[in-house]
Amino acid sequence: MKYRAAVATLAAVPLAFGLAACGGQPEATGYRPSAPAETPVATKTAAPIEKAPVTRLNRVTFVPAMNSALTKQKSWRLVGTMTVDGTTVMTMDGFQTADPPAMSMTMTSGETGGKSFKVLTVGKTAYLSIPGMTPAGKYVKLKGAQTGDVGQMLDGGDPTKIFKSFGGGVGSVKFVRAERIGGQLLDRYDVSIDTAKAFGLQGRKLPAEAPKTTTYSLWMDKAHLVRRMSFDLLGVSMVMSMTDYNKPVHIVAPPASKVVSR
């Protein structure tokens, strides 16, 4: 995995939840006689009901609200696209669980000739099935320091570490507008993160060429759970959608018969 692709995967944030569908109130209908039976009594026109002002999140309230929503999630689906200088270099589709921490992800990359490969992680152990590197249906096992970029990718998908990196490095939070995405009305926020603090809180050294700040765009539902996330870092752009929260997901390590030596 190339350096810039690894950096982008590290920064990917697994987040999200459902937004209730909205509908208008039905109008009362019925038969009205052509002439009233009695003269109606004049009544005052009811004053219009004033809606309470919408409260937007800000730099102080954003992270607590996001954390409160996220920590209730046990599992989720991730679908993402990574581009480098405008060219798609990787797509991904898979599931993660928070407790126990595990991931099952299918990725398609130009580096594998457009063929799909699979990454399984259970705890701190990773299993890779890559065309041309492992036999079909087989996995190579990596553990601890052996995982390299894959281990960093696993850590980058750990919600607790992502929460800490946001909480320690938020520079500004700006509400952009409400947008309808996938049939849901979501609030878009642009969040500026101190890149050095974010990397430091994840136990990583900031690359020399990295910018001082990185802006994440996050689309949140009314429960403050993020449904979509995007960012651009070092020419790498990532867009990820998060769905199917708290649906039953069971991720296990492959049996020993499917694990081969490197």
Q: Evaluate whether residue 25 is within a structural domain.
A: no
Q: Assess whether pLDDT exceeds 90 at residue 232.
A: no
Give me the number of domains the chain comprises: 1
State yes or no: pLDDT of 234 exceeds 90. no
Task: Assess contact for 220 and 189: CB atoms under 8 A.
Answer: yes
Q: How far is residue 161 from each of residues 13, 189, 233, measured CA to CA in Å?
A: 10, 21, 19
Q: Residue 151's domain spans which residues?
A: 3-16+56-260
Q: Which residues pair with 84 in a beta bridge?
A: 87, 236
Residue whose entry in the numeric block shows the structure tokens 């700040």: 213
Domain membership of residue 251 (yes or no) is yes
pLDDT on residue 139: 94
Residue 10 lies in a domain: yes
Q: Is the pLDDT of residue 116 over 70?
A: yes
Whether residue 48 is contained in a domain is answered as: no
Q: Are 198 and 214 in contact (CB under 8 A)?
A: yes
Distance of CA 245 to the CA centre of its chain: 11
For residue 7, what pLDDT band results from cuts at 50, 70 and 90?
A: very low
Return the pLDDT at 261: 82
Contact 94, 103 (CB under 8 A): yes
Tokens, residue 202: 């994840």
Per-residue pLDDT, 5: 44
pLDDT digits (tens, 9 = 90+) for 132-153: 888 988 999 988 655 555 555 5
Query: How high is the mean pLDDT of the chain?
Result: 74
* Percent of all residues in the chain with a pLDDT value above 70, rounded to a whole number: 67
Q: Cα(262)–Cα(255) distance, rounded to whole angstroms? A: 16
> Is 121 part of any domain?
yes
What is residue 41's predicted lDDT score, i.e. its pLDDT? 44
What residue spans of 52-135 are helical by DSSP H?
Answer: 62-70
What integer pLDDT is reported at residue 30 of this predicted model?
35
- Has residue 123 got a pLDDT over 50? yes
Q: Is the pLDDT of residue 51 over 50?
A: yes
Is residue 241 predicted with pLDDT exceeding 50?
A: yes
Q: Is residue 88 part of a domain?
A: yes
Question: Rounded to 10 degrees, what is the CA torsion of 194, 156, 144, 253?
Answer: 170
Query: Contact, 138 vs 129, CB < 8 A?
Result: yes
Q: Return the bridge partners of 216, or none.
A: 191, 231
Q: Report yes or no on 141 lying in a domain.
A: yes
Q: Two tokens at 50?
A: 């004033």
What's the rounded mean pLDDT across residues 17-40? 32
Cα(242)–Cα(163) distance, rounded to whole angstroms?
16
pLDDT at residue number 161: 59
Examine residue 231 and state whether it is found in any structural domain, yes or no. Answer: yes
Q: If you compute the radius of gyration of the chain from its CA atoms, what whole number of angstroms results?
A: 24
Using 50, 70 and 90 to split pLDDT, how confident is the model at 63? confident
The C-alpha angle with vertex 220 and arms to 218 and 226, in degrees rounded to 5, equals 70
Q: What CATH number does the domain containing 168 carry?
A: 2.50.20.20
- Return the half-sphere exposure (C-beta side, CA atoms, 13 A cut-off) of residue 99: 6
In sequence order, what DSSP letters do the residues of 22-52 get, joined into one string? Answer: P-PPPPP-----SS-SSPPPP-PPPPPPPPP
187-231 confidence digits (pLDDT tens): 999 999 888 877 766 666 777 778 888 898 999 999 998 899 888
